[in-house]
Each structure stands twice: as C-alpha cells, then as structure tokens.
Amino acid sequence: MKTWDRAIKKWLIGLCACLVMTMPCAAQQPVKGGKEAQVLLDQGQTAFEQRRYDDALRAFTRVYVLSTSLPRTASVAQLKIGNVYMALRKFEAAATAFQRSIASDPSFALAHNNLGEAFGELRQYNRALEFFNKAVALDAKLPRARYNIGITYGRLNNLKYAEFVFRLLVRDSPDYDLGLDGLAVTLAKSGRAAEAIPFHQKAIGLNPQEPSYYYNLGLSYLMAGYTEKALEQQKKLQVLAPEVANRLASVIVKKQMR
C-alpha cells in the first residue's frame, strides 16, 4: 500500500510524503500436487485470511515437507509462508521464505515479485528492483511487479522514471486501479497535483472500497488548493474507514492553521 506538515514549502513536501501507496494481496496460484497438499493449502489460506497466523504457518510448512518431489507445490507453500511473515512484518523471515520459493521453482514470477517486496520493506531498494525486474521478465503481464517498480523508483526519489513506469502500466493495463493511483501519487509528489486528480478519480471508480484512494485524492486536492473538495473526501472516509478519515482530517486542520 498499506502505501504513496510544516511552513508552506516544507508543508507541501511533508504532505507529499503522506501519500499512501497500497500493496495488493498475493494472488492465488494453481498448485500441482496431491489432494492432501491442496487441502492443507486451502486450510492454511483460510487461517491466513482469518489472521490465525500460527495455524497458517503450520499448514503451509506441512505442505512444504510433503512436496519434496513437487517443486511448484513446494514453491507455492514457501510463497505463502513468506506472505504470512510479511503480514507479521517479519521481513527478514519473509525474504528467506521467498528465496526458498524461488529455489524450488526459479520460473515462479510471483515469488520474485514478493521477494522484491520484502527487500523493499527492508529498504534494500536496489535489490528490490532486481527481483521486480526478474518477475516482469518471467511474466510481462504481471502488473503488480510493474507497479512495484514504479513504487520503488518513487522511494528512491526518481520521480521522473517512476512516472514513466506508471504511464506505461496505465497504458497497458488501463483498468488496473493500483497503477492509476500510483501514477496520481507520483504526479502529486512531482508538484502536479491538479494533473493527478483525474487519475485518483479513475482509481476510485474502479475500486470504490479502497480507503487509501480517497485519502490520496484528498491530499492532492489540498496541494492543488481545493480544501473544500478535500473535506468531501474526508466525509466519505468517515463511512468507509474512520481511522483513515481522522488522518486526513488532521492534515486538513494543519493546513488550515498555516
């Protein structure tokens, strides 16, 4: 994302830093393996979604043990173990699991992408880019990896190249809401908040249940000088995500006090 407050000039810089980029949840992958492994994977995924992380780890680890002769199944099990550790914010452990996933199946594009995400959380941005690019090389249609490349260049403050990456992503995947929001956030950080607003709006139109999109749009409205429109986004968030609404309200109040 789980993603994209001083004197006027410094306030704008700080405001840009508040923009949230949201990371998507890991996609489900087909599993080549026996029925027992599939049952355990399903049980583990249910436990993961219910935040019963210890149960999820036990199930996925059991699949890995059972899958010594099934490299893709073993790879998926380690990918899911890594996803659990990401949710627990144990990023070193997550990176280890994703590396094991790649060792089991080097062609697994999502494992390369997720390893890049773990390195990104560890602020090892150059290593993150290495694995995002490997993911794209393995699966050019994986928009998540391309989105992550844009995010990482933004984190490296290379906004010009981040914009380039996001514009290509939006061109190739115009219905990918994360790509639209990523482009909007990048434009806002580049001092072009008014230009960002239509892309925020398109992202919301595609996924109206994602709170960060309203928050980011509210920030762009503030940066463009449209305080009333920012307040409209804050009101929408009061229903959708009260905690996020409070964060946006705090930023608006600070701006009004300047």
Co-location of 258 and 150 in the same domain:
yes
Instruction: Identify the residue whose tokens are 């949201």.
Output: 22
Alpha-carbon distance 102 to 200, whole Å? 35
**Same domain (yes/no): 11, 68:** no
Among 88, 106, 124, the domain boundary falls at 106
In a domain, 127, yes or no: no
For residue 18, give the nearest of 257, 249, 258, 256 by alpha carbon. Answer: 249
Domain of residue 251, residue span: 1-29+144-258
Q: What is the average pLDDT score of the chain?
A: 89
Tokens representing 207 are 């996924």
Is 23 within 8 Å of 117 (Cβ atoms)? Answer: yes
For residues 176 and 247, membership in a common domain is answered with: yes
Task: Tell me, yes or no, whether 14 and 41 share the same domain.
Answer: no
Residue 31 has pLDDT above 60, yes or no: no
| CA 89 to mean position of chain CA atoms | 14
Average the pLDDT over 93-120 and give the result: 98
Instruction: Classify residue 125: in a domain, yes or no.
Output: no
For 174-186, write each residue's pLDDT tens digit.
Answer: 999 999 999 999 9
Q: In whole angstroms, give the CA distance from residue 153 to residue 189.
A: 12
User: Residue 6's pLDDT is what?
Assistant: 36
- As a whole number of angstroms, the distance between CA 251 and CA 246 comes to 9
